[in-house]
Amino acid sequence: MNARLTYVSAAIALALLVLAPLEFHRYGLYILTQWAVMTIAAIGLNLTLGYAGQVSLAQGAFVGIGAYCAAILTTHGWPLFAAGALALVLCFIIGWLLGYPALRVQHHYLAFVTLAFSTLAFLVFRNESWLTNGTEGIDGVPRPSLLGLSTTPHLRYYYLCLFMLALVTLAMLGLVRSPWGRAFIALRENPLRALSLGVDTRRYILMAFAIGSALGGLAGVLYAPLVGLVEPPAFTLTLSLNLLMMVIVGGSGYFLGPFLGALVAVLLPEWLRGLENYYLIFYTMLVMGLLIYSPTGLIGIADRLLVNRRTRAASAARAAIGATIEGP
């Protein structure tokens, strides 16, 4: 896609995201903010899964760690910003430590290790009442004040989350366009060749995993004041699976995948309100079907259509040139 088209589209999207919610009711704002927060977590997981090819089933746990950081610190008077910084550092380190042993063996081990970690994290959230208040959870997580302005009104908190999403998007863009981005493509396309060219695949994978986990933590920090209550059942393996589905459905490895996937995941339960319990059955069927037809998700389908059109256009152009050359 040419650059100008991309900039214009981005500007339009941003304008929509900023202006449309002015008309939304409280519930609509809540859904939209939830989307923004989940997209941050999904962007992180997309880096781990889509760019570095590692299945992480622990993203939900990292969201939980971030949420508890925010809840514990803010209910003790600390600013949310401090919780954010702590969550980023903590989740990065834990992510790195988690990935290190798992990557010294076969690839799929990371999936199992993260699965185990997710379960362990839940147990800690539930059992360590002195820290997390156990099954009751921590209630009344306050929304921060920025430069004297309170973000308790839903619209203002939404703008804060949108701002953080924009920051994360820009940072990720920078990362993907840097030499790291090239290394990740190499890692994904042909790890053997990448290795022989000096790409330390293990280190890049760990980095992707650690950064992805840190972003999960950041999402958690924003999640806590959004919902107000932080309790263990919100951060089970189910959340990890949901985030994974988001990345897959959107399109794993595509930059815009997480945005689309989170949108589908947040909106679908609303649309399928009438179907009550059946929504999850329907959703998982959709995921399986999508994976069979297009493992690269919804954006993958769009990409394939675009590539087909481009290739056909290119061959048509070549044929036209050929015809004119061979002319009389």
Our finding on whether 307 is near other proteins (CB under 8 A) is no
Our finding on whether 90 is near other proteins (CB under 8 A) is no
Phi, psi at 240, each rounded to 5°: -60, -45
User: Contact with other proteins (CB under 8 A): which of 40, 47, 52, 102?
Assistant: 102
User: Contact with other proteins (CB under 8 A): which of 126, 155, 156, 268?
Assistant: 126
Residue 133's Cβ-side half-sphere holds a number of Cα atoms within 13 Å equal to 14
CA–CA dist 141, 115 (Å, integer): 28
- Of 199 and 268, the one with the shorter C-beta distance to other proteins is 199
Of residues 53, 25, 34, 93, the one with CA closest to residue 222: 34
Interacting positions 198-217 with other proteins (CB under 8 A): 198-203, 207
Cβ neighbours of residue 241 closer than 8 Å, sequence gap 6 or more = 57, 60
Locate 25 and state its tokens: 């009711």
Our finding on whether 309 is near other proteins (CB under 8 A) is no
- Of 85 and 175, the one with the shorter C-beta distance to other proteins is 175
Our finding on whether 136 is near other proteins (CB under 8 A) is no
- Of 53 and 217, the one with the shorter C-beta distance to other proteins is 53
CA–CA dist 286, 194 (Å, integer): 34
Phi, psi at 171, each rounded to 5°: -60, -45
Rounded to a whole number of angstroms, the minimum distance from the CB of residue 48 to other proteins is 12
User: Contact with other proteins (CB under 8 A): which of 31, 85, 115, 301?
Assistant: 115
Interacting positions 61-80 with other proteins (CB under 8 A): none
- Of 18 and 185, the one with the shorter C-beta distance to other proteins is 185
**Helix H or strand E encompassing 150:** strand 149-150
Q: Is 216 exposed, middle or buried (0-12, 13-18, 19+ CB in 10 A)?
A: buried
Rounded to a whole number of angstroms, the minimum distance from the CB of residue 117 to other proteins is 8
Cα 161 vs. chain centroid, distance in angstroms? Answer: 14
According to DSSP, residue 49 is labeled: I
Rounded to a whole number of angstroms, the minimum distance from the CB of residue 274 to other proteins is 14
Our finding on whether 109 is near other proteins (CB under 8 A) is yes
Our finding on whether 237 is near other proteins (CB under 8 A) is yes
Rounded to a whole number of angstroms, the minimum distance from the CB of residue 139 to other proteins is 22
CA–CA dist 56, 66 (Å, integer): 17
Q: Report the C-alpha dihedral over residues 170, 59, 114, 285, rounded to 10 degrees.
A: -110
User: Contact with other proteins (CB under 8 A): which of 136, 139, 189, 270?
Assistant: 189
- Of 60 and 225, the one with the shorter C-beta distance to other proteins is 60
Interacting positions 12-51 with other proteins (CB under 8 A): none
Rounded to a whole number of angstroms, the minimum distance from the CB of residue 255 to other proteins is 14
Locate 145 and state its tokens: 């004040």
Interacting positions 241-280 with other proteins (CB under 8 A): 241, 244-245, 248, 277-278, 280
According to DSSP, residue 137 is labeled: -
Largest pairwise CA distance in the chain: 89
CA–CA dist 288, 305 (Å, integer): 21
Enumerate binding residues for other proteins (CB under 8 A): 53, 55, 57, 101-102, 104-109, 111-113, 115-117, 119-120, 123, 126-127, 175, 177-180, 182-183, 185-186, 189-193, 195-203, 207, 237-238, 241, 244-245, 248, 277-278, 280-281, 284-285, 287-288, 291-292, 295
